Chain A
Amino acid sequence: MYNYQIHDQLRIKLKERGDAVSGRWGLFMLAYEAEEDSIAVSFDDLACLKLLPSVLPYTHQIETAKRVINELHGRALLADEVGLGKTIEAGLVIKEYMVRGLVKKALILVPASLVLQWTRELNEKFAVNAFAQRNEWSWTNYDVVVASMDTTKREPHRSIVLGQDYDLVIVDEAHKLKNNRTGNWQLVNQIRKKYLLLVTATPVQNDLKEVYNLIHLLRPGQLGNPTTFASTHVLDKRTPKNPQALRSALHTLMVRNRRKESQVDFTERHVEAIMLRLSQEEMELYDEVSGFIKEEYEYRSSNHRSLLPLITLQREICSSSYAALPTLEKMRKDPHLISSARERLEHIYEMAQSVPGYTKVNQTIDLAKQIADKLIVFTEYRATQDFLLYMLRRSGIAAVPFRGGFKRGKKDWMKDLFEHRAQVLVATEAGGEGINLQFCNQVINFDLPWNPMRVEQRIGRVHRLGQTRPVYIYNLATKETIEEHIVQLLQEKIQMFEAVIGELDVILGAKAFEKELLQTFVESRDQSEVKARLNVLSKRVQRTPSNHK
């Protein structure tokens, strides 16, 4: 029934000594006690818990690690909501397997910006001897290697990795494996591995097929073959036929802890919308841009041209006139542009350049002075970020930038500066991933992403485990613009989004959602129509089955 294997190292060692036994009894007993302390006496308990030098995991994290090992048999999707400590859970799993001797060789694939952080956490919190991959010899020289996915999938690394056996592979930000035609997915699929952990807060973004692709890596056939999956589970791209059935099919491979259900006491969260009135010049510019977008929208829709630049422009103009300049510039150079549109664009461009004052920026500066404490200002746009930094500094407020594109060292540096020297951190969206700023409890959303998931990720940077104070969120919005509606939608109906985001079986496709919003704005004749249509939209989302046990 089982394979029976006898190790002969001790016999070999003795032979090397010519079968002459020597050594001290005291050391013999000491070694026995060390061995006693190193073994795992039961299948079910976590043996690693007494061996964690500097981390005290939360109950839900311990339960998750146990479930992955005992019930999911070591191949699992860790899909906790943001801020619950998925890294700790993955760390517990790798540590436990190592303590038991089930894992010796492990590969941890993460975005490049997180390589050093993962390496540090595994070493410091879990005393796991992990190395950041540096060159082609790293793969064979070290047992536990943390590497960026992008490096790993390039030669010569790829061939070396595929030539080895891994006891455990962990993929962080695993939503980057949602498409099975990409190099990322194929790499992970081809690695020979015993255990596999996929870690992501957003296993489904736009299409149910994404979760199918993730699950395929863990256990092919769990959701049937592509045809039966489509017929059994998919109503349309984003709606499952039978959420209950899909949920139970996922249950044997997925752990998803939710903030609401975890026993972690998150501090209070206060959200406030600050409604501003634009200056006359700003309002004129806004109207001009909106008018242009409406026209272009009709033209582009009937000519099957991309609507993306319009969505971008509409969102940028809500942020600041500065943010819109690069897009306006690009559109101006578009050879397919009809000449009347070009003229109109030239005019808009000039108007944008000559706006005399900036309502939202002034408000931000006022707020920063009023709060007189650490503060993060989020914006989606580089141009807005630069401008905000400039204006804040000009008002005597120490501010530092933070971007996803920064190298790890620079990110740490900026975080340090923010913690010890500056009052304000001006961050773009991409600044979010994997950095923890719990020492700050004030957030201004200078502009809002049209995607509730991203709003949650922003807030999750500060409203997470380790935050000791209540968190204050200020959403800036200008009256009589799209923003007014967006803020209302994202803030007042946030309950709806919480319900939706939390559920894997109801998918709110970000891109499709953005498109739908734009459609609503350009097709409506007036504000009251916008309101009515948004109501319908939110009702429709709410109706999607999302009630869980």
Chain B
Amino acid sequence: MKDKKLQEFCKRYFMLVDATLHPADDFALSVELPKEVDKELTDRPFYWMWVETLGETPPPNFLYLLFDDLTPSPALLSALKDTQKPERVLPGSYRMQKIYQSAKNRGMFAVAYEPSTHLWPHVLMNVKVSFISDRQKDELLSYLYFVHTNIVKKIDMNQWKGKKLLDHQPSEAKIIPLPISFDHVFSAILEEVQHEINKRDQGWAQEASQRLKKELTELNHYYETMDNKESLEAERQLRKAEITWRMSPRVEVNPFQLALLYLSEGI
């Protein structure tokens, strides 16, 4: 089941990056990689440097990815190129790490349109918020900024997952042109983010800063009781810096995606 989801994800990925899908077993994907995608999914920088320096056009690379422990059917296997060894793909495997990374890089920005006649510009931004001390947790927050009214609204990305948006402006659509200052968009949304975080339970940070204080106090106490304090000063400073580094509570806000959306209604 988990693997089925993974296979779906990979199939979407390969189609979106314009890789060619060839016939394969139900539980497999056979793909021919465009050069740029190949570079992102295989870890061989020297090969590419060499190929490009010589100005050669290498033959396209093929992958045969398996999403189950079943054996690929011999008929399909015999059709494989020599370079195309069947490869089992699992969550967290190197191949998946690379595919995720490639998807994240390529999907950082987007422009999309609603199929409608009158369209207003909006900016959608996704932000990762990490709550960190010696432990950590993350949350994804999404905001929609309506350029016309300067309003920021927190939205739920799950409701956007099924939305059919177009990559190209519909021919009949009329776009309301509005100047966008991205500096302004960023600061407006980030202000909302901070507002949102301030509303959250601060217990984790209180706990972390108390622990930090306690650790530092006890560390100090220990070194104060040592006879050879002076000679241990460097060690003491190092441990102090390590504790602060490890335990200080902090919140990291990391905007990671931005889309310019032309939608039929304002907010």
Contact = CB atoms under 8 A, between A and B. Distances in A.
A41 B134 contact: no
B130 interface: yes
B111 A21 contact: yes
B36 to A, nearest CB: 13
Contacts of A356: none
Top 4 nearest A-B pairs (CB, nearest first) are A31-B107, A51-B92, A221-B222, A28-B110
Contacts of A195: 134, 246
A59 interface: no
Contacts of B126: 32, 35
A225 B136 contact: no
A50 B3 CA distance: 11
B48 interface: no
Interface string A1-24: 111111101110110010101111
B161 A29 contact: yes
Given A23-B106, A32-B157, A52-B92, A39 B182 contact: no
Nearest to A50: B91
Interface residues of B, number: 82
Contact of A53 (B12, B93, B182): B93
Contact of A225 (B167, B197, B222): B222
A75 B106 CA distance: 38
Given A27-B103, A224-B222, 8 more contacts: A2-B248, A11-B183, A24-B112, A31-B107, A35-B256, A101-B130, A127-B93, A194-B245
A75 B211 CA distance: 14
Contact of B255 (A7, A28, A53, A224): A7
B258 interface: yes
A512 interface: no
A21 B257 contact: no
A91 interface: no
Interface in B92-141: 92-94, 97, 100, 103-112, 126, 128, 130-132, 134-140
A41 B16 CA distance: 28
B91 A190 contact: no
B247 interface: yes
Interface string B177-208: 00000110010001000100100001011101
A228 B218 CA distance: 15
Contacts of A7: 252-255
Chain A interface secondary structure, helix, strand, loop or mixed?
mixed
A102 B136 contact: yes
Given A39-B128, A41-B139, A28 B107 contact: yes
A25 interface: yes
B100 A40 contact: no
Contact of A3 (B100, B103, B249): B249
Nearest to A217: B239
B63 interface: no
Nearest to A29: B161
A36 B140 contact: yes
Interface in A147-203: 189-190, 192-195
Contacts of A43: 131, 135-137, 204
A51 B93 CA distance: 7
Contacts of B140: 32, 35-36, 39
Given A29-B161, A225-B226, A40 B136 contact: yes
A31 B165 contact: no
Contacts of B252: 5-7
B209 interface: yes
A73 interface: yes
Contacts of A2: 205, 208-209, 248-251
Contacts of A23: 106-111, 259
26 contacts: A3-B251, A4-B253, A5-B250, A6-B190, A6-B253, A7-B253, A11-B186, A24-B107, A25-B167, A26-B16, A27-B107, A28-B109, A29-B160, A29-B161, A39-B138, A42-B137, A43-B204, A100-B136, A127-B92, A127-B94, A189-B235, A194-B245, A220-B222, A220-B239, A221-B219, A228-B225
Interface in A193-234: 193-195, 220-221, 224-225, 228
B104 A53 contact: no
B79 interface: no
Nearest to A10: B255
Interface in A42-56: 42-43, 48, 50-54
A224 B204 CA distance: 29
A26 B135 contact: no
B18 to A, nearest CB: 10
Contacts of A25: 110-112, 165-167, 259
Given A31-B107, A73-B247, A220-B219, A192 B238 contact: yes
B242 interface: yes
Nearest to A123: B94
Given A7-B254, A53-B92, A225-B225, A31 B104 contact: yes
B16 A30 contact: yes
Contacts of B246: 73-75, 194-195
B135 A11 contact: no
Nearest to A52: B92
A7 B254 CA distance: 5
Contact of A24 (B16, B90, B97, B248): B16
A193 B242 contact: yes
Contacts of A127: 92-94, 97
Interface in B2-43: 2, 9, 12-13, 16-17
Contact of B241 (A51, A190, A192): A192
Contacts of B136: 40, 43, 100-102
A31 B106 contact: yes
B91 A53 contact: yes
Contacts of A129: 94
A102 B132 contact: yes
Nearest to A7: B254
Contacts of A75: 246
B242 A192 contact: yes
